[in-house]
Amino acid sequence: MKLVYPANFYYEEKGGYSVEIPDLSGCVTQGDTLEEAMQMAQDASLGWILTAIEEEEEIPKPSTIEEIKLEGKGFKTLLLLDIDQYTEKYGIKKSVKKTLTIPEWLNRRAEKIGINFSQALQEILLSKIVKMPRKK
């Protein structure tokens, strides 16, 4: 599953960049070069989201880039965050098998067009987790 979050990049007087991901409270990082700052921003964002998932905390819905305000000299851009790739590398590697029931006609049509059921379920579950506050 991939998510897109906006990020603010600020030029630092002594060189390099600081980065803030406004939707992820307290998620900030930096880099000496633009490339390093981009990489650090993705890593910090994915780490923030993975921690929230593991601790069963709310994951904020991403704002649009137009909704984000830039404070100071810099620029805003979007980060593409690949949750699956990051969790394979750093997260919980254990999978859980689920048995479910769907209408036969839906199963037939989905198989005919090659839908990966496991991947589709993961994407939908994550999209619901990100869009809605978690109930405790």
Q: What are phi and psi of 11, to 5 degrees?
A: -75, 130
Residue for token digits 């620029």? 75
pLDDT band at 136 (very low <50, low <70, confident <90, very high): very low
Q: pTM of the full predicted structure? A: 0.71
pLDDT of residue 92: 63
pLDDT digits (tens, 9 = 90+) for 70-99: 988 899 999 999 988 887 777 666 677 778
Residue 135 has pLDDT above 70, yes or no: no
Q: Is the torsion defined by CA of 82, 98, 115, 109 positive or negative?
A: negative
Average pLDDT, the chain: 87
CB–CB of 63/22 below 8 Å?
yes
Q: Percent of the chain beyond pLDDT 90?
A: 52
Residue 121 has pLDDT above 90, yes or no: no
Single-letter residue type at 87: T
Question: Strands (DSSP E) along 1-136, which ranges?
Answer: 2-11, 17-20, 28-31, 74-82
Contacts 24+ apart (CB under 8 A), 20-24: 21/45, 21/48, 21/79, 22/63, 22/68, 22/69, 23/60, 23/61, 23/62, 23/63, 24/48, 24/49, 24/60
Domains in the chain, CATH or no CATH each: 2-131 (3.30.160.250)
pLDDT band at 2 (very low <50, low <70, confident <90, very high): confident
Question: 31-35, 90-94, 123-127: lowest mean pLDDT where?
Answer: 90-94
pLDDT band at 53 (very low <50, low <70, confident <90, very high): confident
